[in-house]
Amino acid sequence: MTAPERLREPLERLYRDFAYAERIERDAIRFPLRYDDPRDREIAALLTACLAYGRVDLFGAQLDAVLARIGAPYDFTMRFDARRDGDTFRDFIYRFNRPRDLVAFFVAARQILGRHGTLETCFVHGDPDPRGPIAPALEGFARAFLEAELGDVFRGRRLSRGYRHLFPLPSAGGPCKRLLLFLRWMVRREPPDFGLWTAVSPARLVIPVDTHVENMSRAIGLTRRKSRSWRMAEEITGRLGLIDSRDPVKYDFALCHKRMSGDCRDRRDPEVCEPCGLRVVCRHWAGRRDEGRSHA
């Protein structure tokens, strides 16, 4: 693992200099960013994050069609009636998910918003320790959706696999990348994130680990774990917290998009790696830091 004092400067530079505006249109965050009203953005963000598995252009095409149909997400949710409006999503199909999963999403969201007013209040309501780890609070939030009254959607109240897939539980040990991404958007105070959930501290966030963040984290010595899991996410976050304890997941967007954009190939490539500020801590260049550097 790389010592935090060696990581600090390269990571801070990556965070500070990253071309966020160029990458936002390639990121799922562009969907909730369309909405100015915080109530609309909150619902749009959760729906987007739940469906954010696979490539952005693939789930994005389906999500675009759903968002075009529902209009203002908050009003749509509060007026949603499964029997009357169930047909809204009849053409929706994306990998594990089918129309009734979206029907269930809006039924559950309507119940939760009716009870708590906002998703943030629901999250805080289920948070046993506002200064403690985020996992129990996220577990409670996911359970609010899984334990909603969904008898009108699922016969015998047996949830579909697709609906359960939308709300993974930290206690199951998976990385919960999509729900952690939603939290990052809502909680972090600096762009590109929204900072709408002021009752939750950014210091408690856990990094959403996808394949890109996993690769980058291994390359620069943030983890040695072999499989993507909640423990890997905690380990990476713990290392980043040694650099910035108040906002450890601030590096997520830049790390993810550096790899996703092809600016890192997760291997030693003199041309691609030449301008990379992480090279000084990259395992692919261990012992050969100067190779490929042009000398004036």
Is 243 strand, coil or helix? coil
Please select the residue that binds ligand SF4; options are 23, 110, 257, 279, rule is CB under 6 A: 279
**Site membership for ligand SF4, residue 276 (CB under 6 A):** yes
272 binds ligand SF4 per the rule CB under 6 A:
yes
In the bound complex, what is the minimum distance in angstroms from residue 221's beta carbon to ligand SF4?
11
- Report d(CA 64, CA 67) in Å as an integer: 5
- Residues in contact with ligand SF4, counted by CB under 6 A, come to a total of 12
Among residues 272, 239, 253, which one has the least CA distance to residue 3?
239
Complex with ligand SF4: residue 49 or 219, whichever CB lies closer:
219
> Does residue 278 bind ligand SF4 (CB under 6 A)?
yes
Point out which span in 43-51, 60-68, 203-211, 266-274 binds ligand SF4 (CB under 6 A). Answer: 266-274
User: In the complex with ligand SF4, which residue's Cβ is closer, 23 or 279?
Assistant: 279
- Return the residue of 104, 219, 232, 236 that touches ligand SF4, per CB under 6 A: 219
- Contact stretch for ligand SF4 (CB under 6 A) within 91-99, 121-129, 137-145, 265-273: 265-273
- H or E stretch including 108? helix 99-116
Residue span binding ligand SF4 (CB under 6 A) among the ranges 55-63, 173-181, 200-208, 281-289: 281-289
The Cβ of residue 120 has, within 10 Å, a number of other Cβ atoms equal to 19
Q: From the CB of 250, what's the least distance to ligand SF4, in Å?
A: 18
Segment near ligand SF4 (CB under 6 A); pick from 31-39, 127-135, 184-192, 268-276? 268-276
Closest to 66 measured CA to CA, from 97, 37, 22: 97
Provide the minimum distance between the beta carbon of 281 and ligand SF4 in the complex, in angstroms, as a whole number.
8
The SS3 call for residue 94 is: strand
List the one residue out of 152, 70, 145, 135 whose CA is nearest residue 115. 145
Q: Find the Cα–Cα–Cα–Cα dihedral 241, 242, 245, 247, rounded to 10°.
A: -50
Q: Does 273 bind ligand SF4 (CB under 6 A)?
A: yes
Least distance from C-beta 222 to ligand SF4, angstroms? 11
Rounded to a whole number of angstroms, the minimum distance from the CB of residue 215 to ligand SF4 is 8
Q: Is 97 helix (H, G, I), strand (E, B) or coil?
A: strand
Please say whether the beta carbons of 179 and 120 come within 8 A.
no
Nearest to 33 by CA among 165, 191, 253: 191
Cβ contacts of 239 within 8 Å, gap of 6 or more: 1, 2, 4, 7, 222, 223
Nearer to ligand SF4, 15 or 194 (CB): 15
285 binds ligand SF4 (CB under 6 A): yes
Closest CA to 13 of 184, 195, 258, 223: 258
Q: Residue 217 Cβ, how far from ligand SF4 at the closest point, in Å? A: 10
Q: Which residues of the chain form contacts with ligand SF4 (CB under 6 A)? A: 219, 264, 266-267, 272-273, 276, 278-279, 282, 284-285
